[in-house]
Amino acid sequence: MDVAAQETPDAAAPRIAAAIGEPARARMLYCLLDGRARTSTELAAIAGVTPPTASAHLQRLTNHQLVTVTAQGRHRYYRLRDRRVAALLEALSVVAGRPRDAFVPRTPIRLRAARTCYDHLAGTLGVSLHDRLMALGWLSSSSKKGPAYDVTAAGIAGFAALGIDVAATRALRRRFAFGCVDWSERRPHLGGALGAALLEAAEQKKWVVRDLDSRAVELTPRGRRDLLARFGLET
Amino acid sequence: MDVAAQETPDAAAPRIAAAIGEPARARMLYCLLDGRARTSTELAAIAGVTPPTASAHLQRLTNHQLVTVTAQGRHRYYRLRDRRVAALLEALSVVAGRPRDAFVPRTPIRLRAARTCYDHLAGTLGVSLHDRLMALGWLSSSSKKGPAYDVTAAGIAGFAALGIDVAATRALRRRFAFGCVDWSERRPHLGGALGAALLEAAEQKKWVVRDLDSRAVELTPRGRRDLLARFGLET
DNA sequence: TCCATGGTGTGACTATCATCGAACCATGGA
DNA sequence: TCCATGGTTCGATGATAGTCACACCATGGA
């Protein structure tokens, strides 16, 4: 019974919002925001509910096109449906994280320090890396204050040295590179296909390790050393 | 009792989503998406509930920082808190309006034809105007496929003739101009400060008239004539 | 074939909340 | 001062939906 498929967009919007608007489901979704898949029981633990409850929640999220499920043996892997759902969750975080009087961030330091934003680096690490890339002249902000970026000749060479083919990345059918603002820093980090490629490269080089249960990303000793050497980045 | 102010962003997100995720409240919010303010009773009628119910809803929306209220005499005017809330609602529409098999738009034609998207023109009118501005060479897409736009010399002159000071608009502290994709057309129209200035100019020239109860925008006979004359735009 | 494990359906309980009528407060005009 | 109007608060009611224990189905390995 795919409820969502029979509705007008107007009627679907509040139902989708309601689907997100339940703490256990929200925990699941924000965990999946790193773009990876989780099994039903993993998500049950993360949400803090029993498997039957989690199953009901996941069914609802699937009906409303927020997540997709793929069966693999005995396991069923759930993941966010697409980047637009991720964008919705990020937009929600932006509104939820609005500065308020005497606001003190209560987010775990680990998560503020380095984390993924769907499929690219965010947090303080993501922001400093972004600033460094701008300072090095690898990236250029094409429009006056617009979020879209372009890569300079120096940047093409630099990214190539990291094993990133800029031309191939640009050819992907998604936004190439832009300043992605997230809730904890309120400053841009590198988003888009290029940001994703950068995270992938960093993971491959074992500069960073992703946490399984959250969006946290840990900087390895090797990563700390290489980032300093290559970018002059103090972490 | 401002519940939202005592919460971490993480706990606030699902509550905000839940605040949107109730049909009556969603109707109110999407109505306010044109950026204008409405009184409590107006919103009650639009949502299809009695004044006491609407009052409770509006209180919740206010607590969760989605709308603000300003008292004027006996009336209390509610409006969306800021552009980020509008962005959230649009992101929600995008997910809600995802193409589905045999999808038939059930939106009133009037709303599809011309409407506002927070504070700029959308709908088929917004889209054709956008395409025309590109064809005339007033706008240029700065990045490869990014949404940010810039204005050409021809555009600066053209907008000036409409009474729009491009330099002043660019100086505003918001995104200058970009392709804003909305749910009904799935094609970009002109968003940002420049889009807002264009709508304002069109309103001032009596080319369009806004509807009070919805996001609909009506093209006046004069507007039809002038748009044809100035842009060669058949409506 | 049997068993262990991952995952889902059922039914009962409970809490939340949307709703409205009626009463109440506040503003502006007569 | 009184009244009309806009708007909110209160209290009661009913529906929705989140929760878990238990039972059930499916897959994979022994």
Query: What CATH number corresponds to the domain at position B38?
Result: 1.10.10.10
Q: Tell me the two tokens of residue A171.
A: 């050819």
Domain-located, residue B95: no
Among A17, A97, A183, select the one facing B26 at the smallest CB separation.
A17
Exposure string over A38-59, b if 16+ CB within 10 A, otherwise e: bebebbbebbebeeeebbebbe
CA of B47 to C1' of C22 (A): 22
pLDDT at A203 over 70: yes
Residues 6+ apart with CB under 8 A from B94: A84, A87, A88, B181, B182, B183
**Co-location of A111 and A81 in the same domain:** no
* Residues A211, A116 share a domain: yes
pLDDT value of residue B21: 95
Query: Do residues A117 and A37 share a domain?
Result: no
**Contact present, A215 and A115 (Cβ < 8 Å):** yes
B84/A91 CB distance under 8 A: yes
Share the mean pLDDT of chain A. Answer: 79
Using CA atoms, how far apart are residues A29 and A1, in angstroms rounded to an integer?
22
What band does A212 get if pLDDT is binned at 50, 70 and 90? low
Residue with tokens 């000749």: A153
pLDDT (0 to 100) of residue A102: 25
Task: List bases, strand D, within 7 Å of protein CB.
Answer: 5-11, 17-23, 26-28
Q: How far is CA A170 from CA A94, A133, A167, in A?
A: 27, 17, 5
Asked if residue B30 and residue B59 are part of one domain, the reply reads yes
Q: Range with the lowest mean pLDDT among A138-147, B52-61, B206-215? A: A138-147
Rounded to the nearest 5°, which phi and psi values hold at A111?
A: -75, -30
Per-residue pLDDT band for A176 (boundaries 50, 70, 90) equals: confident
Same domain, residue pair A106 and A214: yes
With a CB cutoff of 8 Å and minimum separation 6, the contacts of B171 are: none
Lowest mean pLDDT among A46-50, A84-88, A139-143, B127-131: A139-143
Inter-chain contact B5–A101, Cβ cutoff 8 Å? yes
CA atoms in the 13 A half-sphere facing the CB of A8: 8
Does residue B21 fall inside a structural domain? yes
* A123, A135, A159, B95, B234 from A131: Cα distances, Å: 12, 6, 15, 31, 47
Contact list in A for residue B21 (CB cut-off 8 A) is: 14-21
B126 in a domain, yes or no? yes
Same domain, A163 and A227: yes
Instruction: Report ipTM for this prediction.
Output: 0.59
Greatest mean pLDDT range, A51-55, A171-175, B119-123: A51-55
pLDDT for B200 beyond 70: yes
Q: Which of B26, B61, B87 is the last residue of a domain?
A: B87
Q: Which residues touch strand C (CB under 7 A)?
A: A 39-42, 51-52, 54-56, 58-59, 69, 74-76; B 18, 22-24, 49-50, 52-53, 56-57, 60, 73-74
The chain B residue lying nearest A90, using CA atoms, is B88
Instruction: Examine the domain organization and report whether B149 and B190 are in the same domain.
Output: yes
Residue A91 has pLDDT above 80, yes or no: yes
CA dihedral (B91, B65, B215, B104) positive or negative: positive
Last residue of a domain, one of B60, B87, B114: B87
A191 found inside a domain: yes
The answer to whether position A94 is within a domain reads: no
The number of angstroms, rounded, from the C-alpha of B13 to the middle of its chain's C-alpha atoms is 23
Is B7 a residue whose pLDDT tops 90?
A: no
Q: Across the interface, do A17 and B146 touch by the CB < 8 Å criterion? A: no
Task: Specify whether the CB–CB gap between B9 and B28 falls below 8 A.
Answer: no
The shortest CB-CB distance from B92 to any of A13, A65, A142 is to A13
Q: Which domain holds residue A70?
A: 3-87
Q: Which residue is nearest to nucleotide C10 (CA to C1')?
A: A52
Query: Do B110 and B77 belong to one domain?
Result: no
Please report whether residue B93 resides in a domain: no
- pLDDT, mean of residues A181-192: 68
CA atoms of A12 and A115, how far apart (whole Å)? 31
Question: Residue holding tokens 């034809």?
Answer: B113
For an interface test with B, which of A6, A8, A10 has the most B Cβ atoms less than 10 Å from its Cβ? A10
A149-161 mean pLDDT: 89
CB B149 within 8 Å of CB B143: no
> pLDDT tens-digit profile of B124-155?
788 888 888 887 888 887 654 456 788 988 88
Q: Which residues of B touch A15 (CB under 8 A)?
A: 21
Both B81 and B180 in one domain: the answer is no
pLDDT at A95 over 80: yes
B18–A19 CB contact, under 8 Å: no
Asked whether the beta carbons of B156 and B186 are under 8 A apart, the reply is no
If asked whether residues A164 and A189 sit together in one domain, one would say yes
The pLDDT tens digits for B35-86 are 777 889 999 999 999 999 999 999 999 999 999 888 877 889 898 888 789 8
